[in-house]
Structure 1
Amino acid sequence: MSVAEPRRIALFRHAKADWPPVADHERPLSERGRQDAPAAGRKLADTGIPFDMALCSTATRTRETWKLAVHALPQRPKTVYEERIYEASPGELITLLNETPDDVRNLILVGHNPGIHGLAEVLCGSAEGDARERMNRRGFPAAAFALVSFDGSWKTLEPGVATLLDYWAPSE
């Protein structure tokens, strides 16, 4: 694969979590989250993008979101559970993405806010259609995702180089 081919990243926030008396990292999905995660998976499948890899936070709610969403995809990407995604800043997430092997063309990052929303804003120097307007209007609610594209190797991913292709969030 040539590094000149566009790469795509789905920046996917975990679905709605419950608030039981457990540590934040261990919070499970709520009933609403268990409904929205598969819907997000269907929307990811509708993009037609063959995702090669998923990087997923080790938090319970992100792992549950991914396990419910991935079933809708036509091919299951390799999944790597990465503890550094939990509570990561946009800069820390870029550093993590810079470590992605160049044979990975399309990636899903399953994480948390404010990092995921911040990453979408920082990476995207441009946007197609009304995607940025929709993202700004809705914010980045649980189970939302932004689809971004950039050219070059993963090591060249930095603020402003990507294009926001699309944005989706479940209905309130």
Structure 2
Amino acid sequence: MAKALAQIPTVSVKDLPKELFDQLDSYIQTLEDKKGSLIHVLHRAQHLFGYLPQEVMLFVARRLDIPAANVFGVVSFYSFFTTNPVGENIISVCMGTACFVRGADKILHEFKSKLGITTGETTPDNLFTLKDVRCVGACGLAPIVLVGDKVYGRVKLDEVDGIINAYVVKNFGKEN
């Protein structure tokens, strides 16, 4: 069940890069139908900032000349949008019926245990965010784990470490 807007924590960040606001503003200025482009603008904003903190949502509302409540409503309605920072790698465990019946709850528990976080949280190093999602439409591969766009099918408990380690190794040596 969806949370009421007042129950969804929204991050407030005072020191967001001005360059990103400038890029977003430039994009908005290219739009012919500004008010009808809210979802497109929010997608662009989330792509630029990585998430949608209060300041970004208010900026969008002002630039599109629409009530901030409309922006907050759209952001809270669509699960793609997030008001909190996310990790570099988003791990989504499918909890649809087929996946659940085949042990997705145990897979999710194993990710929680290994990463030291719960669903909706991000690891302190910002490397991983863990999500539980509804059906991803590939029931024949249940249980399914997605890391970004990569699909892992028929995942077993003993494969969780390998999935995590593949992304730790991939990010090893990157500057933070």
TM-score by length of 1: 0.25
Structure number with greater CO (CA < 8 Å, separation at least 6) is 1
Structure with greater Cα Rg: 2
More helix by share: 2
More strand by share: 1
